[in-house]
Amino acid sequence: MTVAASTPMLRRHALAATALRDRILSGGVPWTLVIFLLMATVPWLGSRYDTFLASQITIDALFAVSLNLLLGTTGLVSFGHVAYFGVGAYVCGILMKTYGVPFSLAFPASGLGAALFALVSGYFCVRLIKLYFAMLTLAFSQIIWAIAYKWNAVTGGDQGLPEIPYPHLDWMSSIPGCADLSIGARFYLLTLVLVAVSLAIVHHIIRSPFGRVLTTIRDNPERAAFLGINVRLYQLASFVIAGGFAGLAGALYGIFSRGVFADYVFWSKSAEILIMTILGGAGYFWGPPVGAAALVWLNQVITDYTQYWSFVLGAILLVLLFGFPGGIVGGLDMLWQRLKRLRNA
């Protein structure tokens, strides 16, 4: 049985991504920091609704980046990534609401819980080739959904778990300028910091020797195995890390959306997060966050005009698949390359 075959499309984009990264780094502008600082001004400069949207974008960005660790970096197509998001959301929600555990413990616990479930399910998933891998991840996510939907006593069943408490953020009042911020805005700032740290860690993992082994496996698993790499073990490690970060995103989302509900874990959510990742560009680290921002923004623009958002999303997906398989960042990158060639010529 061969393990996940190579994905030439992703490899090509990954090469381009390295070039893009080098360019940005050589430019000397610390873009990551700039984006972070810009995002942090939203509660002061924007409306309450802007903060709401920015929170959603931030959390989705982490969720999509965690998926892309599998998709873009390791070359594994998971169709059930929402399971780990859901486990994280439920662990954090149940701990905070039912047991009164503080956020400082519930948050890491949700990441650990999701990683643990990823370890168990991933152990079986990475043994399977491509499509069966996708099917088994889907099966596991539907198992989580069935549990969430039916285990009334713990998960609230169809009712879900509304009213998850916000973390205690009174201490923020002592920070200059933060005294007047609402609890929602404060939670957004906390989310932003936690997501930024998480993204930095994922970025570091991808650029570490471990991450380079993952890309080797993505590009050519047979060769990797030939080099003496335990392919399944590395894939499992990637799966567990991705699951853990998805769990953290889920924990934040449960609090942000003021409740955890079984529908968060339904299979179609996995498809949505895949679309988000592809829309931004799976070959780039910053692709998924761009995809998250674009989808959240588009959604609220379009739903103002029409109730047929799914139709529009489907159309966007078609354009993407047939016209811009590299996603937004991939498209911009191509444009940049062309401009550069023009200038050089």
Partner 1 sequence: MYRRYCLALAFAAAAMWPAASKAADIKIGFPIPLSGPTAVYGKPVLAGAQMAVAEINAKGGVLGRKLEILPRDSKANADEAVRLSRELIIKDGVDFLVGTLTSAEAPAVSTVAKENKIVFIAPTSKSTILTDAQHIHPYIFRVASNTDVEGLAGATLMARWKDVKTVATIAPDYAYGRDSMAAFIKALKKMRPDIQIVDQQWPKLGEPDFTSFITAQMGKKPDAIYSALFAGDFVTFTKEATPLGYFKAINNRFIDGAEIGTTDEAQALGKDYPYGVIGDSYDPVLWTGNEPPVHKTFIEDLKKFTHAQYASGWSIVGYQSIYALAAGITKAGSTNSDAVSKALTGLTWDTPVGPRTFSVKSHETFAPEYWGEMIKEPGIPFAVINNPELLPKSFPATN
Partner 2 sequence: MSSSFLFSQFMGGLTTAMFLFLIASGLSLVFGVMRIINFAHGSFYMVGAYLAWQAVQWVHPTGGGFWLAVVIAAVGVGLLGALTERLFFRSLYGREELYQLLFTYALVLILGDAAKFVWGTDQLSVSAPPALAGSVQIFGTTQPLYTLFIIAIGPAIAFALWLLLNRTGAGRMLRAAQMDREMLDALGANVGTIYTLMFAVSAFLAGLSGALVTPIESIVPGMDVLIIVQAFIVVVIGGMGSLWGTFWGSVIYGQVLSFGILIFPGFSLFSVFALMAVILIVRPWGLFGRPL
Interface ranges with partner 2 (CB under 8 A): 7, 9-10, 71, 77, 79, 124, 127-132, 134-136, 138-140, 142-143, 145-147, 149-151, 266-268, 271, 274-275, 278, 308-311, 313-315, 317-318, 321-322, 325
Round to whole Å and give the CA distance between 84 and 66: 10
Using the 8-state DSSP alphabet, how is residue 86 labeled? H
Question: Which of partner 1, partner 2, none does residue 310 bind to, with CB < 5 to 8 Å depending on kind?
Answer: partner 2
Which whole-number Å values give the CA distances from 298 to 135, 159, 191, 280, 291, in the listed order? Answer: 30, 29, 22, 13, 10
**168 binds partner 1, rule: CB under 8 A:** no
Interface residues for partner 1 in 141-160 (CB under 8 A)? 149-150, 152, 157-160
SS3 161: strand
**35 binds partner 1, rule: CB under 8 A:** yes
Using the 8-state DSSP alphabet, how is residue 167 labeled? P
**71 binds partner 1, rule: CB under 8 A:** no
Cβ atoms 66, 288 nearer than 8 A: no
Q: Identify the residue among 10, 52, 72, 255 touching partner 1 (CB under 8 A).
A: 52
Question: Which of partner 2, partner 1, none does residue 120 bind to, with CB < 5 to 8 Å depending on kind?
Answer: none
**37 binds partner 1, rule: CB under 8 A:** no
Question: Which of partner 1, partner 2, none does residue 29 bind to, with CB < 5 to 8 Å depending on kind?
Answer: none
Give the interface segment with partner 1, choosing from 73-81, 199-207, 231-239, 256-264 (CB under 8 A): 256-264
Question: Which of partner 2, partner 1, none does residue 315 bind to, with CB < 5 to 8 Å depending on kind?
Answer: partner 2
Question: Which of partner 2, partner 1, none does residue 44 bind to, with CB < 5 to 8 Å depending on kind?
Answer: none
Burial environment of residue 142 by CB neighbours within 10 A (0 to 12, 13 to 18, 19 or more): middle
Q: How far is the CB of 305 from partner 1 (least distance, A)?
A: 12
DSSP count for the chain of H helices, then E strands? 16, 2
Q: How far is the CB of 223 from partner 1 (least distance, A)?
A: 36
**317 binds partner 1, rule: CB under 8 A:** no
Output b/e per residue, 31-65; b: 16+ Cβ within 10 A.
eeeeebeebeebbeeeeeeebbbbbbbbbbbbbbb
Token readout for 162 is 């509304």
Chain centre distance of CA 126: 20
Q: Which amino acid is at 177?
A: G
Interface residue list for partner 1 (CB under 8 A): 31, 34-35, 38-39, 45-50, 52-54, 149-150, 152, 157-160, 162-163, 257-259, 261, 263-264, 290, 293-294, 297, 300-301, 304, 307
